[in-house]
Chains A and B, each alone.
Chain A
Amino acid sequence: MNSSKRIILHIDFDSFFASVEQQYNPFFRNKPLGVTATNGRTCIIASSREAKKLGIKTGTRTFDAFRIYPDLQLTPADFWKYWEISKKFISICSGFSPLVEVFSIDELFMDITYTAKLYGGVMPLIDKLKEQIRDEIGEYITVSIGVSHNKLLAKLASGLKKPNGIFVIHPSQIEHVYKVVDLIDICGIGERIKKRLNGMGIFTLTQLRRTPRVALIAEFGHVEGRFLYDVGQGVDVNPVQAFTQDTGVKSVGRQHCLARNEHNSRIVLQNVYELFEEVAFKLRRLHKKARSGGLILYGSYIIHGHVTQQAYVDSGRDLFQLGMQVIHRQYNQLPPGYVRRIGVWAGYLQDSGNLPLPLLPYDQKQEKVLKAMDSLNERFGDHTIRNGFLVYSDKLTTVPNGYMADRYERRKLAHQNLEIP
């Protein structure tokens, strides 16, 4: 089909985390509300529509927010709650089209080219969708919808009429829309790219539209240059990729921001171990093994690197040992100072079924131990069984992140939706 005849929707929840909390707790409704991170850090990660009107934005420190509005209500984030609502939202959208691409926890793309006529057109479909969201999710949680012929413009459109709005960009209106939006309103153009574009004398999307491709490629290289040229022309050929399609897994990772700047090296290492344990759970659930382990420690010093070995592993302890090798390459032990953020990952993945079974009795025993641990953790929750090294340390809780980067959760969601008759 001609790409300009496709009908793509971008559906975005308005102030998602805060709206969910306002739906959940009616006492928070119509009041400025800030959602804070659960890790003890004092930053507002989402603010309600009422708080945004006062100038309290995402990233504002609570101290500054109280100076703006002393009666501001604060509530800790509950990502499982948001994820459950997101799943309900995805399930509702899947009823309108099989082509639903999950972009993040609170936004998705839908290709309704072939299903719109079943509902009498685009607008009747949108009305029905909004009605279903209101009935099944709640009257306080609203969505803004952008409609266009490609994902780039649909995403731009959804941000142009918020909250609870619908905005349509027809192919003939691109020039007109580009006159009123800023460069950074486009998904894929951030402050750094904007600065470089400004350096080329490009300050508006209309100017970008008139810039020759060669000039952009000369400045940004082939990939970014072509992308920016397409942005200027309002072209995006990427199709909506159904979330039920298997996208493959290249690496599994996890990052964690500690509650405070941690000086105690034992606590830092316990957190590293627990994060590797979590990566290992995910590997085993995905039936993968890794032969590379990476670690990054941010704080008063930075340790960053990865180690690749011949053997494939899928236990937290083995991955932790790879992480320790990264530390030992730079230091004998953790240097004095503090750590604020920890990131771990496992790469060079291979399907467990393609690898030989362990030969030595010790390794065979370890596999059985891991299986027993997994069945207990599946039944009673992650981190129920922990290594002795973690005794008396705080339990890390696995939560879905806003970008829905967790392939295991995505795969589980896809399988659950495919089971729906």
Chain B
Amino acid sequence: MSENVHEASVITVYDQRKRRTTIWRIKWQGRVYQVTTHGYHYTLEQGSTLCHIFSVVAGSLLFRLKFNTRTLQWSVEETYDNC
């Protein structure tokens, strides 16, 4: 089975006190990125599928990550290089 280039492995942390999920680390295209800054999180309905969108910064890269609640898959939707 070939790996979809947009799919990513993601480690998240849920803070029960703040009731907030934050992204800690991303593995994408064979490289591991440590998240340094969190931008924003919002939800989006694609048809009847609810998706969570996160924007996070790792080094000089901004990732737009999508979590599909139907398939429970993470994917990188967009990257922005600040260099």
Contact = CB atoms under 8 A, between A and B. Distances in A.
B47 A26 contact: no
B43 A84 contact: yes
B47 A84 contact: no
Contact of B42 (A26, A84, A378): A84
A248 to B, nearest CB: 26
A24 B57 contact: no
A88 B42 CA distance: 9
B43 A26 contact: no
Contact of B40 (A23, A378, A379, A380): A23
Given A378-B48, A379-B47, A384-B47, A27 B57 contact: yes
A24 B40 contact: yes
Nearest to A141: B40
A27 B42 contact: no
A25 B42 contact: no
A85 B82 CA distance: 25
Interface string A354-386: 000000000000000000000001111100100
B75 interface: no
A114 interface: no
B78 to A, nearest CB: 10
B62 A26 contact: yes
A27 B82 contact: yes
Contacts of B53: 81
B34 interface: no
B44 interface: yes
A331 interface: no
B43 A25 contact: no
B55 A24 contact: yes
Interface string A5-37: 000000000000000100111110000000000
Interface residues of B, number: 15
Contacts of B82: 27
Nearest to B64: A24
Contacts of A378: 47-48
Interface in B10-58: 37, 39-40, 42-44, 46-48, 53, 55, 57
Given A378-B47, A379-B48, A85 B80 contact: no
B39 to A, nearest CB: 5
A80 B53 CA distance: 11
A31 to B, nearest CB: 11
Interface size class of A (residues with CB under 8 A): 10 to 19
Contact of A381 (B40, B42, B47, B62): B47
Contacts of B40: 20, 23-24, 81, 138
B48 to A, nearest CB: 5
Given A81-B42, A138-B40, A27 B62 contact: yes
A379 B49 CA distance: 7
A29 B81 CA distance: 15
Contacts of A27: 57, 62, 80, 82
Contacts of B55: 24-25
Contact of A25 (B46, B47, B48, B62): B62
A80 B44 contact: yes
A377 to B, nearest CB: 8
A418 to B, nearest CB: 18
B6 to A, nearest CB: 18
Interface string A88-118: 1000000000000000000000000000000
Interface string B55-75: 101000010000000000000
A188 B40 CA distance: 35
Interface string A117-149: 000000000000000000000100000000000
A84 B57 CA distance: 21
B19 to A, nearest CB: 10
A402 B37 CA distance: 29
A381 B39 contact: no
A416 to B, nearest CB: 11
Nearest to A88: B42
A379 B45 CA distance: 10
Contacts of A81: 40, 42, 53
Given A23-B40, A27-B80, A378-B47, 15 more contacts: A23-B39, A24-B40, A24-B55, A25-B39, A26-B39, A26-B62, A80-B44, A81-B53, A84-B42, A85-B42, A88-B42, A138-B40, A379-B47, A380-B47, A380-B48
14 contacts: A20-B40, A24-B39, A24-B40, A24-B55, A25-B80, A26-B39, A26-B62, A27-B62, A27-B80, A80-B44, A380-B46, A380-B48, A381-B46, A384-B47
